[in-house]
Structure 1
Amino acid sequence: MTELLKVEQLAVAAADAIVRPLSFTLRAGRPLTLLGETGSGKSLIAQAIMGNLPAGLQARGRIWLRGEELRGQAPAARRQRWGRQLAMLPQEPWLALDPTMRAGEQVAEGYRYVAGADWAQARSQAEQDLTRLGLGHALHRLPGQLSGGMMQRLAFAAASTGGADIVIADEPTKGLDAGSRDQVTGLLRQVAEAGGGLLTITHDIAVARQLGGEVMIVRGGEVLESGPAEQVLQAPASDYGRALLAAEPAAWPELAPLNAGATVLKVDGLAKERGGRPLFRDISFELRAGEVMGVVGPSGCGKSTLGSICLGLLEPDAGSVWRDPALARTRYQKLYQDPPAAFAPWCSLGQSLKDVVKLHQKDWAEVERLLPRLGLSPDLLARSPREVSGGELQRLAILRILLLEPVLLFADEPTSRLDLVTQQQTIRLLTSLARERGCALLLVSHEAALVNRVADRVLTLG
Structure 2
Amino acid sequence: MTAALRIEDLTIRTGDRVLVSGFSASVGRGEPLTLLGESGSGKSLVAQAIMGTLPPSLVASGRILLDGADLLRLDEVARRSLWGRRIGLLPQEPWTALDPTMRAKGQLAEVHRYVHRRRDADSLAAMGLSEVALADAGGHYPFQMSGGMCQRLALAMAHAADTPLLLVDEPSKGLDGVLRADVVARLRREIATGRLLLTITHDIALARALGGTACVMLDGQAVEAGPTAGLLDAPIHAYTRALINADPSAWSPRASRQPGSSVIEGTGLAKAFGRRQLFTDLSVHVREGEIVAVVGPSGSGKTTLGNILIGTERPDCGWVRRMPGIVPTRFQKLYQDPPAAFVSHQTLGRAFDHLARRHGLAQERIEQLLTRLKLSPGLRDQRPGELSGGELQRFALARVLLLDPVFLFADEATSRLDPINQMEVAGLLREANERDGLAILFVTHDTALAEQIADRSIMLR
**TM-score of the alignment, normalized to the shorter chain, above 0.5:** yes
What is the alpha-carbon distance in structure 1 between the residues aligned to residue 195 and residue 65 of structure 2? 16
Give the number of equivalent residue pairs.
Answer: 460
Can you list the C-alpha shifts for 1:140-195, whole angstroms capped at 9, x where unaligned? Answer: 11111110011111111222333212211111122111211111121111111112
What is the alpha-carbon distance in structure 2 between the residues aligned to residue 152 and residue 286 of structure 1? 30
The residue aligned with 1:289 is 288
Q: Which moved more, 1:106-115 or 1:276-285?
A: 276-285
What is the alpha-carbon distance in structure 1 between the residues aligned to residue 73 and residue 347 of structure 2? 32
- 2:187 counterpart of 1:188: yes
Report 1:148-297 matches (<5 A). 148-297=147-296
What is the alpha-carbon distance in structure 2 between the residues aligned to residue 50 and residue 276 of structure 1? 40
Q: Is the 8 A contact 1:43 1:170 kept in 2?
A: yes
The residue aligned with 1:19 is 20
How much does 1:240 deviate? 0.6
Can you list the C-alpha shifts for 1:258-311, whole angstroms capped at 9, x where unaligned? Answer: 242222112222221122122122222322111111110010000000001111
The residue aligned with 1:426 is 425
SS of match in other structure, 1:28: coil
What is the alpha-carbon distance in structure 1 between the residues aligned to residue 257 and residue 367 of structure 2? 29
- 2:37 counterpart of 1:36: yes
Q: Is the 8 A contact 2:60 2:72 kept in 1?
A: no
What is the alpha-carbon distance in structure 2 between the residues aligned to residue 236 and residue 257 of structure 1? 35
Runs of 4+ with >4 A deviation = none
What is the alpha-carbon distance in structure 1 between the residues aligned to residue 14 and residue 361 of structure 2? 33
What is the alpha-carbon distance in structure 2 between the residues aligned to residue 245 and residue 71 of structure 1? 34
The residue aligned with 2:4 is 4
How much does 1:2 deviate? 4.1
Report 1:44-443 matches (<5 A). 44-118=45-119, 121-443=120-442
Aligned residue identity for 1:266: E
How much does 1:256 deviate? 3.7
Aligned residue identity for 1:205: I
What is the alpha-carbon distance in structure 2 between the residues aligned to residue 160 and residue 132 of structure 1? 11
What is the alpha-carbon distance in structure 2 between the residues aligned to residue 275 and residue 452 of structure 1? 33
What is the alpha-carbon distance in structure 2 between the residues aligned to residue 354 and residue 257 of structure 1? 38
How much does 1:123 deviate? 1.5
What is the alpha-carbon distance in structure 2 between the residues aligned to residue 414 and residue 297 of structure 1? 15
Q: Is the 8 A contact 1:302 1:461 kept in 2?
A: yes
Q: Is the 8 A contact 2:61 2:72 kept in 1?
A: no
Q: Is the 8 A contact 1:83 1:160 kept in 2?
A: no
How much does 1:75 deviate? 1.5
Can you list the C-alpha shifts for 1:53-103, whole angstroms capped at 9, x where unaligned? Answer: 112111110111112333422221121111112111111111221111111
Can you list the C-alpha shifts for 1:228-279, whole angstroms capped at 9, x where unaligned? Answer: 1110111111101100111000000122442422221122222211221221
- TM-score using structure 1 length: 0.97
- Structure 1, unmatched stretches of 5+, are none
What is the alpha-carbon distance in structure 2 between the residues aligned to residue 168 and residue 186 of structure 1? 16
Query: Identical aligned pairs, as a percentage?
Result: 48
Aligned residue identity for 2:425: T
- Structure 2, unmatched stretches of 5+, are none
How much does 1:389 deviate? 0.7
Q: Is the 8 A contact 1:12 1:19 kept in 2?
A: yes
Q: Is the 8 A contact 2:105 2:138 kept in 1?
A: yes
SS of match in other structure, 1:161: helix
SS of match in other structure, 1:19: strand
What is the alpha-carbon distance in structure 2 between the residues aligned to residue 392 and residue 70 of structure 1? 27
What is the alpha-carbon distance in structure 2 between the residues aligned to residue 162 and residue 449 of structure 1? 35
Aligned residue identity for 1:192: I
Aligned residue identity for 2:91: P
Aligned residue identity for 2:274: G
What is the alpha-carbon distance in structure 1 between the residues aligned to residue 256 and residue 159 of structure 2? 48
